[in-house]
Chain A
Amino acid sequence: MSARDDHGLATRRAQPKSTRVATQHVHPAFERFLRAVRADIESRLTPDVVQERLRRLTGPAATAPAADRTRSAGVPRFESRAGWAAYGYHVIRLWLLAIAATGSPRARLRRNDVDELAVETVARALSSFRDQELHPLPEPRTADAALKAAFLTECVRHLPYVNRSLRLMTEQVSFEEFEDTDDIDLVGALWDCATTGRAEELRRAARDAGGEGEGEGDADEIVTLTPIAIRSAVQRYPEAVTPGSIA
């Protein structure tokens, strides 16, 4: 239960947790249903099908190569999308590996979930990042630290949502547990990893990841930018990242 709740904090806390948990688990049949739906979507809605649906909606020009299209207003082109996706995936993966290595009880993160969490988080972050930028975005290799911090802020913003969604889909998580943001705090665990001298886990994860990242994620830079991104996310998106995470 979030501290921002203006009604239920005291009353719900006053109730014994054990009696509620038993009734609020998702039914196993519903879990199986959710898994089946997911598999169905993955098999039927392939990228080609999605592009075909887009063509149906906007005409062939919308999905033609973007090179000859000009943008006069609105959301800028995002030709460096792939570069940012790779950069985001690399950094988020390092974050999650570092958290998993600490075994933080705030996160209860399993290594098996790291890839899926990273992919989904970066997909969401790319959309919101692109929507906010008013100029064409350079490749991350040539981007300045401020731009990288802005992108990582979006990653931090989406991380808790993706984690909640994934947990609910793959585990038998009670509604009460799911809503209890004090209990599951991935961003708080990341903050712990990146500050107070414990950035060692983050550096170790970066060292271990060594040649995988194609050089996008310089460990020092990631260690520097991570707390900045978390603070920025807390300030900009308090509904997503609670200030308590960095207390």
Chain B
Amino acid sequence: MSGSIVLALRLATALALYGFLGWALYYLYHEVQRQSQALAGRRTPGISFTVKHGGGGSLYKHFAQPEITLGRDPGCDIPLMDDTVSTRHAELTYHHGQWWLEDLSSTNGTLLNETPITMPTVITSGDEIRCGATRLTVNLAEDVLIEPTQRIGKNENG
């Protein structure tokens, strides 16, 4: 009799152990779900440029995506009609809460505030990017300056 009771308890013990592991797995799944939703909800702060062509024309462009390419290629996000600009000249990316400018091995180089850049460099509002004869003035949307990342899901815990 005692044997049967203890057998039931032994099975219950195994169930409790796997209950622990099952819940852990469930929470891990839940964490993935929450994280993906949080990341999907995270928006790249806007960035806008005032593009001054060598010829003198001026153009205003606004973006809300995390990767922006510049170049002579019409497929670029900012197509530049300028013979001194390479096909794919430079790239702007948003990560680690910052906008980064990177030269894509262009022929004439990319200059930030008249200084040639060799590695990905952080840019801020008011910076001037020069590709060949084209100049772009950076204007970051306001929320970028306030907080690089948002505290998602923080307030639910209380």
Whether A associates with B in a native complex is no
Q: B-side interface residues toward A, CB under 8 Å?
A: none
Q: A-side interface residues toward B, CB under 8 Å?
A: none
